[in-house]
């Protein structure tokens, strides 16, 4: 199964990078950053979201648990 996570808002790119680091540590699936080409005059690519490949055996439940824990930790900051 493949999952694509996207965030909207002012700090969306920073939030996705933070989530990416959390997933790389706590989730054993394949996690990749998805970027698009920069707009003319921009300094770098735009972070569009995170792409994850889930294996069988509870990957979706594990991913959901990691994302929920990350969201709770962000709310407490």
pTM of the model: 0.81
Task: List, for residues 17-75, the tens digit of each pLDDT value.
Answer: 999 999 988 887 789 999 988 888 888 888 899 999 887 777 888 889 999 999 999 88
Domain count across the chain: 1
Q: Which range marks the domain in which residue 67 is found?
A: 2-76
The answer to whether the beta carbons of residues 30 and 63 sit under 8 Å apart is no
User: What is the predicted pLDDT for the residue at 50?
Assistant: 95
User: What is the predicted pLDDT for the residue at 44?
Assistant: 80
User: What is the predicted pLDDT for the residue at 31?
Assistant: 92
Reply yes or no on whether the pLDDT at 1 is more than 90. Answer: no
The answer to whether the beta carbons of residues 73 and 26 sit under 8 Å apart is no
Q: What is the C-alpha separation between 26 and 66, in angstroms, rounded?
A: 7
């Amino acid at each position: 199964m493949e999952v694509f996570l996207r965030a909207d808002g002012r700090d969306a790119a920073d939030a996705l990078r933070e989530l990416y680091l959390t997933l790389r540590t706590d989730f054993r699936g394949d996690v990749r950053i998805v970027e698009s080409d920069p707009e003319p005059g921009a300094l770098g690519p735009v972070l569009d979201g995170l792409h994850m490949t889930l294996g069988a055996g509870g990957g979706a439940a594990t991913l959901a648990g990691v994302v929920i824990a990350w969201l709770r930790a962000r709310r407490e900051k």
